[in-house]
Amino acid sequence: MSLIPLDDLTATRLADLFSALGDPTRVRIVAALREGEATVSGLARQIGLTKSAISHQLRGLKEKRLVRARKQGRQVFVAIDDEHVTELFQKGLEHAQHG
């Protein structure tokens, strides 16, 4: 199999993706969202942080397109953006647990 070298833009995007998962709190947020959509308040309770702290971390995850948010009334619901994020997370988790 012949591998195509990464161009600068693709390499930067990939590094940004892994950087977004380089924080334990963000990893815990993504792990919690594997169960399905959740409110910011629900994530805060589940992870044990303030809504403000969760919202701060979610901003970075949204910028990197790892999660998406929707508003319904005064509630904000957050979910994993697509199956690629779930697959990437699962593979990373398996690798981390393997050692």
For 2-22, what is the mean pLDDT?
90
Question: How is 57-77 classified by DSSP, letter by letter?
Answer: HHHHHHHTTSEEEEEETTEEE
Q: How distant, in Å, are the alpha carbons of 37, 44, 48, 50, 56 from that of 18?
A: 22, 23, 24, 25, 18
**What is the structure's pLDDT at 5?**
87
**What is the structure's pLDDT at 8?**
95
Interatomic CA distance for residues 43 and 46, integer angstroms: 5
Query: Which single residue is written with the structure tokens 């380089």?
Result: 22
For 8-24, what is the mean pLDDT?
92
Q: Where are the domains of the chain?
A: 8-98
The answer, yes or no, to whether residue 1 has pLDDT greater than 80, is no
**What is the structure's pLDDT at 84?**
93
Instruction: Evaluate if pTM is beyond 0.75.
Output: yes
What lies within 8 Å, CB to CB, of 57 at 6+ separation is 23, 25, 26, 29
Give pLDDT tens digits for 40-82.
Answer: 999 999 999 999 999 999 999 999 999 999 999 999 999 999 9
Q: At what angle do helices 8-20 and 51-63 cross, to 10 degrees?
A: 160
Structural fold of domain 8-98: Arc Repressor Mutant, subunit A (1.10.10)
